[in-house]
Amino acid sequence: MTGSIDLDAYFDRIGWGGATNPTFGTLAGLLHSHVSQIPFENVDVLFGRRVRLDSDGLQDKLVRSRRGGYCFEHATLFSAVLENLGFRAARHSARVILHTPASAAPRNHMFLTVALPQGLFVIDPGFGSMASRSPIPLREGALMRRGEETHWMIRDGSLWVLRTQLGDKPANAWASTLEQDNAADFEMANHFSATHPASPFVNQLMINAYSGDGRVGVLNRDATIWRHNRSQKMQLGDRRALRRLLHDQLGFDLPELENIRVPAIPEWR
């Protein structure tokens, strides 16, 4: 990522008024605020728009326009903020293995590690509904719990695997060799994710956002709103309902949503 970061604008976007020195407390606070305030969403991919990973593009979309993005956008922006604050952050790619074995999954997820005196921590702000809002220790089996979120890392041969709790069962989320990748590697993976006909982001609508005391999730036409540990499920009747939901719950209004094409929804193709 090239270009400068407007830290004041970013802090205002995520509602951060705390410390900025490169400590664990600062890292944990920034990560929680970032994930809680900036949604995960792939709307621009479905519009066929270019997903930019440069400094100006990310700040214009995620900060100034108060939009969201997917993993490459979240992790690239967050890593630039951390580096501007003096943190040592490294960028990595992973294979998402929730529904696909590692041998068949592409390296199309981006996350970070940050080195601190307390150890090395996994930072993954762009993993949608399963993103940890807390730094995860890179130690085998060290649990990170926050509310209903539980994450931990395990070894599988040469791979590090992120595990999370889905209901009453643990699930393998992604696997990585933990080698450090270059910006060009993420540009390639981002291009595949945003344009390839087989990419899930090209075919499905995916949104996750924290809103006040709850959370909102959308997968195609199925929407779920969590409030006070209770969930309300609904099906979006049409694209106008989608526009209203994002306006009311995420705080941005896109008139063009009324014409969005979602291949996974026959009526919206």
Average pLDDT for runs of 10 along the chain of length 269: 87 97 98 97 97 97 97 98 97 96 94 98 96 96 87 96 90 97 96 97 97 89 90 95 93 94 97
Residue 156 among the catalytic residues: no
pTM: 0.96
Please tell me the predicted confidence (pLDDT) of residue 75: 98
Is residue 190 a part of any domain in this protein? no
Residue 97 · residue 108 · CB < 8 Å: no
Residues 239 and 168 in one domain: no
For residues 37 and 210, the answer to whether their CB atoms sit within 8 Å is yes
Query: One of 71, 74, 92, 151 is an active-site residue; which one?
Result: 71
Q: How far apart are CA 269 and CA 167, in angstroms?
A: 33
Q: Looking at 32, 74, 92, 124, which residue is catalytic?
A: 124
Question: What per-residue confidence (pLDDT) applies to 149?
Answer: 86
* Residue 99 appears among annotated catalytic residues: no
Catalytic residue among 32, 74, 109, 151: 109
Number of domains within the chain: 2
Indicate if 44 and 152 belong to the same structural domain. Answer: yes
Judge if 127 and 173 occupy the same domain: yes
Q: Could you tell me the CA-to-CA distances from 43 to 56, 96, 106, 164, 255 in Å, in that order? A: 19, 20, 22, 26, 12
97 and 176 co-located in one domain? yes
Compute and round to an integer the Cα radius of gyration of the chain: 18
Q: Which candidate, 226, 223, 225, 261, places its Cα nearest to that of 242?
A: 223
Task: State whether 247 and 118 are in the same domain.
Answer: no
Residue 260 lies in a domain: yes
- Same domain, yes or no, for 133 and 261? no
Compute the CA torsion angle 243, 249, 253, 257 (nearest 10 deg).
-30
Expressed as residue numbers, the domain containing 226 is 204-268
- Between CA 182 and CA 200 the distance in angstroms is 24
To the query of whether residue 109 is one of the catalytic residues in this protein, the response is yes
Residues 19 and 152 in one domain: yes
The three-state secondary structure class of 15 is coil
